[in-house]
Amino acid sequence: MIPRFTLHRPRNIAEAFEAFAGTNGEGAWLAGGTELLQVMKMGLAQFAALVDIKAIPELHGIDVDRDGGLVIGAGTTHRLIERSATVRQAVPGLAALEAEVANVRVRNTGTLGGNLAFAEPHSDPATFLFACDATIRLAGPGGVRDLGIGDFVLGPLFTAREADELLLSIRIPAAGPGVGRAYAKFAFFERPAASVAVRLAVQDGLVTGCTVVVGSLSEVPTVVAPAGAALDGAEAEPEALESRFGSAREAFGELDIVPDLNGSADYKRHLAGVLLGRAAQRALTEALAHA
């Protein structure tokens, strides 16, 4: 049972900030509510007021900006992102990821912005967006600011967003020619036990600029720089790239992995190694298709 609370339903961002200010520090933003309402039901959080931002038009939409970056309104649902032709064209890896978030009920209700703002360690988008160098746009009484995912997600259920700030949008830079970005996960109970995102480029027949990010292994998505370095310089064909996987996986041995109900640290490290191969090959396929 959720304790009683006051519900505000602003029609625009200005009204939203006014309503939030009126909660006197005892309110929270409500987007999809798939995470927030659960923790309230469980008694892990209580708020005197919720500011429902679902009906604010400025927080919705999917578009490509003048620089080719994909801009997604924070209030856009996972389902709309999954089914968007614009997303499939600009960032196919994101569309594929969104199609496997939780279940259809959650995807129809939950929002990308809400997912990122909640910062649940076992979620999908942050890991992939980190590999894509995505940025978060926030707005509050102090103005508008942009943060990279790595600077935004600070810990489990903890972000750099101030309580009175509103997440406006997420921007993913254009990949550019010869660049591939992919994500792979292994999930229990609709949440990843381990996940890996890979970004790489193909130039002059070689893999270069490889970034490897692991998720669901520790408190925040983590860049594994030695793993990316191990893949750099491989010939841009599947067998040659695969020959580098052993060296790349060795870098996972240095990770501080948190054991949980999904498995021991060693088991999750093994999962990440398998997923590295899958994500890297998918990224290579995309890169070659756009070379």
List per-residue pLDDT tens for the chain, 291 residues long.
788 999 999 999 999 999 999 999 999 999 999 999 988 988 889 999 999 999 999 999 999 999 999 999 999 999 999 999 999 999 999 999 999 999 999 999 999 999 999 999 999 999 999 999 999 999 998 899 999 999 999 999 999 999 999 999 999 999 999 999 999 999 988 899 999 999 999 999 999 999 999 999 999 999 999 999 999 999 999 999 999 999 999 999 999 999 999 999 999 999 999 999 999 999 999 999 998
- Residue 222: strand pairing partners: 214
Q: How far is CA 70 from CA 192, 196, 205, 281, 288, in A?
A: 25, 21, 27, 23, 21
Domains of the chain in start order, with CATH, are: 6-52 (3.30.43.10), 58-172 (3.30.465.10), 179-289 (3.30.390.50)
In the numeric block, which tokens belong to residue 151? 């600077």
What is the C-alpha separation between 15 and 202, in angstroms, rounded? 48
* Radius of gyration of the CA atoms of the chain, in A: 19
